[in-house]
């Protein structure tokens, strides 16, 4: 017996949300209500215009979703928040994870007591915004060893300062943030240093990257640093090498894999609704076997990706001392996370392509939503470790041989 569209099962076909606590379910429902009212009606317009909706930041802050580990939320809940935001608008979710998972989390994990006192409350409440400045014009996957941006320590009558020179590229939130978590190579020691850089210091130039086909709402910037003097008080003293950032990057990579889940849920939602409504040959295209097969493939991809991420969240929740087991090994390991990011984004690519196909010609205009989902997927496939790099990280773990020079 057929069901009406309103009675159809949710894309969470195996009801993984049942694993959440009652408080987490209520908070997720609150987020959905906010997104439906404040984001859904406007997201395509923001994307078309390549404009960031700064006016809704106080409303996002009021949801009280930042720094979830301090509110005893599970990692499953945290991941589902990212997926649900992505399901509605990938750009907004990207802003959220860049600011919270990278900048705010770095303040929590690496910031000194003085830095936290000075910056953390405003960042959590979104009274100030942060960015993560790592990638460079000529260094992406190899930036850890090939970083060209330099930091030179200078001691004078004004105390200890660091002089930064170089360039960063693809910096999300970079056009409007107040601070950047910026990485540079110590000119004296060759070690990578981290700074909570005041983005408005003299010598910092920020230019918006134009003509993107994905994440158009996100304000990515080219950053140029010319003799920028940064006080010692803004250096991250607990970071002495790039290896110190692994916990932070692991968490960010997990969040992007959750975005791949959200993208697939969005594609399935749009494609199913369209297939039920769209009439061809005198009946809904959902009545055709090939369309049903495509929808089932999309749902299978989304469900398997979600299941993988639920297990990753379980490993996080079972971890000891905030993510480490005996010997200091991260749990889940970077290889486990790399496999999740590679697998979910590959599945996502197939899912959004099937969704676009179901919409036919209407799938290439943003009016119907699918074109936006289809295009944004390409960014997720690439950032926070490209598919190829994440594959090689896992390959190294399972063979003991590195294919990365």
pLDDT tens-digit series, residues 87-103 = 999 999 999 999 998 99
What confidence score (pLDDT) does residue 325 get? 47
What confidence score (pLDDT) does residue 353 get? 98
Distances (CA, A) of 347 to 255, 297, 377: 16, 10, 11
Q: Tell me how far apart the terminal alpha carbons of the chain are, to the nearest angstrom.
A: 58
Pick the CATH number of 130-240 from 3.40.50.970, 2.40.110.10, 1.10.3720.10, 3.40.50.11740: 2.40.110.10
What confidence score (pLDDT) does residue 318 get? 87
Question: Rounded to whole angstroms, how far apart are CA atoms 264 and 306?
Answer: 10
The CATH number of the domain covering residues in 5-124: 1.10.540.10
Q: What is the pLDDT of residues 176-189, one digit of tens each?
A: 999 999 999 999 99
Q: Which of 136-140, 301-305, 325-329 has the lowest mean pLDDT?
A: 325-329
Q: What is the pLDDT of residues 45-71, one digit of tens each?
A: 999 999 999 999 999 999 988 766 566
The answer to whether 52 and 217 have CB atoms below 8 angstroms apart is yes
Q: What is the pLDDT of residues 10-24, one digit of tens each?
A: 899 999 999 999 999
Superfamily of domain 243-399: Butyryl-CoA Dehydrogenase, subunit A, domain 3 (1.20.140.10)
Q: Which two tokens stand for residue 299?
A: 């749902």
Could you tell me where in the chain the CATH 1.10.540.10 domains are found? 5-124
**Are β-strands 279-280 and 283-284 bridged in parallel, bridged antiparallel, or unpaired?**
antiparallel
The number of beta carbons lying within 10 Å of the beta carbon of residue 37 is 10
Q: Assess whether pLDDT exceeds 90 at residue 1.
A: no
Question: Rounded to whole angstroms, how far apart are CA atoms 279 and 52?
Answer: 36
Could you tell me where in the chain the CATH 1.20.140.10 domains are found? 243-399
Question: Rounded to whole angstroms, how far apart are CA atoms 199 and 271?
Answer: 42
Could you tell me where in the chain the CATH 2.40.110.10 domains are found? 130-240
Q: Assess whether pLDDT exceeds 50 at residue 320.
A: no
Question: Rounded to whole angstroms, how far apart are CA atoms 6 and 259?
Answer: 25
């Amino acid at each position: 017996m057929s069901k009406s569209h309103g009675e159809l099962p949710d894309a969470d076909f195996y009801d993984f949300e049942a694993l959440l606590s009652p408080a987490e379910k209520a908070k997720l429902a609150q987020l959905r209500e906010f997104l439906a009212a404040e984001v859904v009606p406007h997201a395509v317009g923001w994307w078309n215009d390549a404009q960031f909706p700064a006016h809704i930041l106080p409303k996002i802050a009021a949801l009280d979703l930042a720094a979830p580990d301090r509110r005893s939320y599970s990692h499953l809940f945290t991941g589902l928040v990212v997926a649900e935001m992505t399901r509605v608008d990938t750009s907004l979710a990207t802003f959220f994870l860049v600011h919270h998972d990278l900048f705010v989390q770095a303040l929590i994990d690496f910031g000194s007591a003085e830095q936290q006192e000075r910056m953390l409350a405003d960042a959590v409440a979104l009274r100030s915004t942060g960015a993560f400045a790592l990638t460079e014009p000529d260094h992406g996957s190899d930036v850890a060893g090939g970083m060209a941006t330099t930091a030179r320590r200078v001691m004078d009558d004004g105390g200890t300062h660091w002089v930064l020179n170089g360039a960063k590229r693809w910096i999300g939130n970079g056009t409007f943030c107040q601070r950047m978590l910026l990485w540079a190579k110590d000119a004296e020691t060759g070690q990578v240093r981290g700074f909570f850089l005041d983005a408005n210091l003299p010598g910092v130039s920020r230019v918006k990257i134009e003509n993107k086909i994905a994440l158009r709402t996100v304000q990515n910037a080219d950053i140029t640093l010319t003799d920028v003097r940064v006080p010692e008080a803004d250096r991250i003293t607990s970071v002495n090498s790039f290896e110190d950032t692994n916990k932070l990057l692991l968490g960010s990579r997990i969040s992007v894999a959750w975005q791949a889940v959200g993208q697939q849920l969005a594609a399935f939602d749009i494609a199913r609704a369209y297939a039920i409504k769209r009439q061809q040959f005198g009946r809904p295209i959902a009545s055709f076997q090939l369309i049903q097969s495509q929808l089932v493939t999309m749902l299978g991809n989304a469900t398997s990706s979600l299941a993988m991420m639920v297990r990753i969240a379980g490993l996080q929740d079972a971890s000891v001392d905030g993510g480490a087991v005996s010997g200091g090994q991260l749990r889940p390991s970077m290889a486990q996370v790399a496999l999740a990011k590679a697998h979910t984004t590959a599945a996502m690519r197939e899912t959004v392509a099937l969704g676009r196909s179901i919409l036919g010609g209407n799938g290439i205009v943003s009016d119907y939503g699918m074109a936006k989902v289809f295009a944004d997927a390409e960014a997720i496939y690439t950032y926070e470790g490209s598919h190829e790099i994440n594959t090689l990280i896992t390959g190294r773990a399972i063979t003991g041989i590195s294919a990365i020079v």
